[in-house]
Chain A
Amino acid sequence: MSQASTQAVASGAPLSKDLVVKCVGLSKVFRDFWMRNRVKAVDDIDLDIYRGEVFGLLGPNGSGKSTTIKLILGLLHPTAGRIAVFGHHPHDVKNKQRIGYLPEESYLYPFLNARETLEYYARLFHQKRTIRRGRIDTLLEMVGLQHVARRPVGEYSKGMQRKIGLAQALINDPDLLILDEPTSGMDPIATADVKRVIKSLAERGKTILLCSHLLADVEDVTDRVAIMYGGKVRRHGQIDDLLEQHDRTMINAPAMDPETEEHLVALLESQGICDASISRPRQKLETLFLNIVSEAQSEGASTSGAQSGGQIARFLATGVDETGAASHGDQLIDELMASAAPSHADQPQSQPPPPEPIHDQTVIGSLTAGDHAPSPDESLQDDTTRRPDQPDQQDQADTDLIDSLIKKQDDGQDPNQG
């Protein structure tokens, strides 16, 4: 951390256009009744979270994740260090206009129903009646609770409460979304819905701070992570960099007959790669589960719980409010896109298209045309912050390698020769 930027954080001045959250030397010590230091929940951490990225804060229970979030939200005061959110102090009320927060538990008023709950939070954002009604309808549909919207949330299951919690966090179309254990208590369908929403929002240029100990969920959606333990950040970086095994290579290919497999193993052994093996990949249990439920839903099976979420709320997906006007941020993005980003048609044909989630095709596909074109935020991101096409490039490279190996062997050439 440079001296200049530390001073900027301390003075509350914006550090960088794309820097959304900056923590410098952040510490939090909880004291007992006699004001004696008892628990060091956060211990001298530095964090930078940039615009448009999904940042994961990981760690076991009691590692300081939630405390860090509460410090960022101004619910706690740091014992030492500085925090800037959008370049301002966390207590700055204007800042909160741009923040959405889902706490680790759904701290909702049990006597309000879902619609009243969202009405309450919308009013806190000074939203006009017509706008808030529209947003509430779309959010309820998005989280699949429109049919139980008039039931008191105190009667909801934990998963349903989490959904309303998520909806309230999105009521203001936030620029920074802070999600503390967003999928806890949710079934796999709801979890998949939440992950879909996170991905979609990230594609829209929203910044998301995700705090969880459900590593599989985090891995699916985050760009960068920081792993905390004992109040300290132990590792941080790009998720792909952290997870990549540099001493192994995986070949991804369509199913082969046993003869080809033996042939391939022999070929690798001939190259001195002795511990090579071939096995059938397993699909994720989550994918299997979602497919089964999807089939049941398509057969019209009924359920008394929450329905599967609908398409992402229009005001979140498009950045266009109910009056039809694009927000200032969107105008800015559009201008930047027009001047800096290459159009889809201008991209080289050899580049693989960005992957589309299988179960999101109908949902995301129904969003605006802006989602089919490269997102303005993607065009603004550098290579180190978001590389959604990287796995496909890797797959393509692996397939090309296998093809060339087999072709060369069939031709009796040494595969190592050029």
Chain B
Amino acid sequence: MWLVVLIALVGLTEGVGWLLAAQGSGSVAGIIRSLGRLLVDGWLIYGLILWRHVPWVRRFGVLLLGTAAAGMLALLFRAMGWYEMVIATAGAYAMGLLFYAGLWLIRAILSPGVAVFAVARTLIDEAIRMKIALVPIIKMLILIAVLPFVIDTEDFLKYRITSFLTWSLIATSALLSLMTIFLAVATITKEQTQRQIFLTLTKPITRAEYLIGKWFGITLLNLLLLGVAGTGIYTFTKMLESQPARDTIDRLAVSNQVLVARQAVEPVPPDPDALMRMYETQLEQLRNENPERFGEPGDPLDQVKPADAAEVETQVVIRWYTIANETWESYRFNGLDQAKLYNQSVQLRFKPKLAGVTPDGFLLMGVRINGRIYRDPVTGNPLLKLAENNFHVLDIDPHDIDSAGGLTIDIFNPSREGRSQPSLNFNPKDGVEVLYRVGDFEANLARTLAVLWMKLMFLAMLGLAAGTYLSFPVATLVCLLVFFTAAGSSYLTESLQYYAAFPKDSLPLPHKIAWLIGKVGALSEEGKYYDILKMFIKMIGTGFMLIAPSFGEYNPTPLVSDGRLVPGQMLANAALWSGLFWTGGVGFLGWLIFRSRELARVTV
């Protein structure tokens, strides 16, 4: 009946409208059509209310309500002149829509009668309906939508986009990591305390399947949320990109240095034997100064301890990156064939530092690219005046790349206003490098999200494994400890190195033990008990760092924010180590505990 009335209303409205229009009464036809459409809309809404108990009608109704609410909000913001909020509302709506549709799709995928799917689907329902996951999800969606508008609009567009990418990815990673831990721990501990697990595990499902189902559910939810976050980040990045840049260079920097995937090339000396010769000279000098440690002058080069040889190498590399006043140093960058072939943009990126103090924080530097002097694009000056200790980027014409696919860049340290400038130096790690385009921002962002997903897979299994045996608060604390250790693994490892005295890594284990015993004895004789305690703390910390996964090795956020390629190797390593080995290992441990656990056990 409802459908008949709807068809009749549509038919009447359009029919009468056409008739009137055919007779030349366009305005009356317009009024009739408007009225008719209002009636049709009203009747549709009545239908939605009438059939609200039917699942697809309810879903459609929610979508319609959400769209209407977003539209009205956007109109309101537009009327108030808050145009940024209009875009934010549209972006938030797009993310919400994707989330809703994705959720429906996942539920549909998990609908077959498979026990693992049943557990996974119920977990997703739990995450959404019990609001365990909903709060972090809403926070994430709001944060991504609002971030573009809190970034300083006076700043260079390049830096605004970089900041947005950095903070939105950090927020996404942090919120999803916390959500994953809380959800994984809560779902398994709550089911044990509230005993829903009694009903599930008395059905034909193994405990391994139960754990896998839970993990699969969290992993799918994370995939959806990363997809939603990625859509939001991409949308708002594009929105920021469309905003006015400070100047042409700023605009070019956005497209060539940020919204791009670039490969970095580290320099080598143009003369392959140059560093070796420097090494020989350096070693000879050290042998003259300290023959006991480095050997007598004239001894064979390999007659030096590996640790001492490494130290000499480091000194040589630092020297190579140091340019004295009124001297040149040449750096060769190979492997740029692709950039030349496809005429891709190439940049020289460097961070110059001076060994002494400058009056204004600026330095002078000359650059020659394959023999051609580089001039300041604004002033045309061959000497570049640059802020000290900051990264600078020079655009290089890909045609400058020679036929061997390389670039030789000479850097000159000139005098300044007739006075000698202190030595110019660069950090050997990333002080001077050439970057060239190898891919798009979109694929790079997708790889970044994929790496995050691998990390979340591990956290999900960690939470579940901890929850199989520990109570909610204890399991959560354990997971957070592991998470923060993994996230800050590189900083913690570095900090531990300086925290207390400890035998060198190169020492064999028996020597280490002997060293430790001797050190403890010596410190206790001196009454330095706090130092002994610090040694033990370092020992525990080092052991923990060895077993905790190193998330720091798979951190794609700085790369994508800086327009650098997130390498496939990083993704593969993250998949292998975080997604497979660590997840599998922790899951296996959890299963071992869980399989023999008495679920109805009462501790009296």
B333, CB-defined interface residue at 8 Å: no
A120, CB-defined interface residue at 8 Å: yes
B195 touches A122 (CB 8 A): no
- Name which of B117, B130, B601 has the most chain A CB atoms within 10 A of its CB: B601
A70, CB-defined interface residue at 8 Å: yes
B604 touches A31 (CB 8 A): yes
Collect the chain A residues with CB atoms within 8 Å of residue B112's CB: 123, 129
B602 touches A111 (CB 8 A): no
Q: In the assembly, what is the distance between CA of A129 and CA of B599, in Å?
A: 30
B interface with A by C-beta (< 8 Å): 53, 111-115, 117-119, 121-122, 125-126, 129-130, 194-206, 596, 598-604
Q: Do A111 and B130 contact each other (CB < 8 Å), given the known contacts A124-B204, A125-B204?
A: yes
Residue-wise, chain A 148-180 has the 8 Å CB interface mask toward B (1 for contact) of 001010000000000000001000100000000
Collect the chain A residues with CB atoms within 8 Å of residue B122's CB: 109, 112, 120
Collect the chain B residues with CB atoms within 8 Å of residue A105's CB: 195
Q: In the assembly, what is the distance between CA of A38 and CA of B604, in Å?
A: 7
Q: In the assembly, what is the distance between CA of A29 and CA of B112, in Å?
A: 41
15 A–B contact pairs at CB < 8 A? A31-B603, A31-B604, A32-B603, A70-B198, A74-B201, A74-B202, A75-B198, A99-B202, A105-B195, A107-B197, A124-B203, A125-B203, A129-B113, A132-B113, A172-B203
Q: In the assembly, what is the distance between CA of A112 and CA of B126, in Å?
A: 8
Residue-wise, chain A 86-125 has the 8 Å CB interface mask toward B (1 for contact) of 0000000110110101010101110110001000111111
Q: Do A107 and B598 contact each other (CB < 8 Å), given the known contacts A75-B202, A93-B206?
A: no
Q: In the assembly, what is the distance between CA of A125 and CA of B122, in Å?
A: 15
A253, CB-defined interface residue at 8 Å: no
Distance from B201 Cβ to chain A, minimum over Cβ atoms (Å)? 7
Collect the chain A residues with CB atoms within 8 Å of residue B126's CB: 109, 111
B598 touches A77 (CB 8 A): yes
A73, CB-defined interface residue at 8 Å: yes
Name the 9 nearest CB pairs between A and B, nearest first. A123-B118, A111-B129, A124-B203, A75-B600, A38-B604, A107-B195, A70-B600, A96-B204, A101-B202
- Name which of A32, A74, A93, A150 has the most chain B CB atoms within 10 A of its CB: A93
A30, CB-defined interface residue at 8 Å: yes
Distance from A230 Cβ to chain B, minimum over Cβ atoms (Å)? 15
Collect the chain B residues with CB atoms within 8 Å of residue A77's CB: 596, 598
A123 touches B115 (CB 8 A): yes
A96 touches B203 (CB 8 A): yes
Distance from A45 Cβ to chain B, minimum over Cβ atoms (Å)? 17
Collect the chain B residues with CB atoms within 8 Å of residue A338's CB: none
Collect the chain B residues with CB atoms within 8 Å of residue A108's CB: 196, 199
A282, CB-defined interface residue at 8 Å: no
- Name which of A120, A123, A125, A150 has the most chain B CB atoms within 10 A of its CB: A123
Q: In the assembly, what is the distance between CA of A75 and CA of B205, in Å?
A: 13
Distance from B552 Cβ to chain A, minimum over Cβ atoms (Å)? 37
B598 touches A75 (CB 8 A): yes
List A23-49 residues whose CB lies under 8 Å from chain B: 30-33, 38-39
Q: In the assembly, what is the distance between CA of A129 and CA of B600, in Å?
A: 32
Q: In the assembly, what is the distance between CA of A127 and CA of B114, in Å?
A: 8
The residue on B at minimum CB distance from A105 is B195
Q: In the assembly, what is the distance between CA of A112 and CA of B196, in Å?
A: 12
A359, CB-defined interface residue at 8 Å: no
Residue-wise, chain A 218-238 has the 8 Å CB interface mask toward B (1 for contact) of 000000000000000000000
The residue on B at minimum CB distance from A121 is B203
Q: In the assembly, what is the distance between CA of A99 and CA of B204, in Å?
A: 9
Collect the chain A residues with CB atoms within 8 Å of residue B601's CB: 30, 76
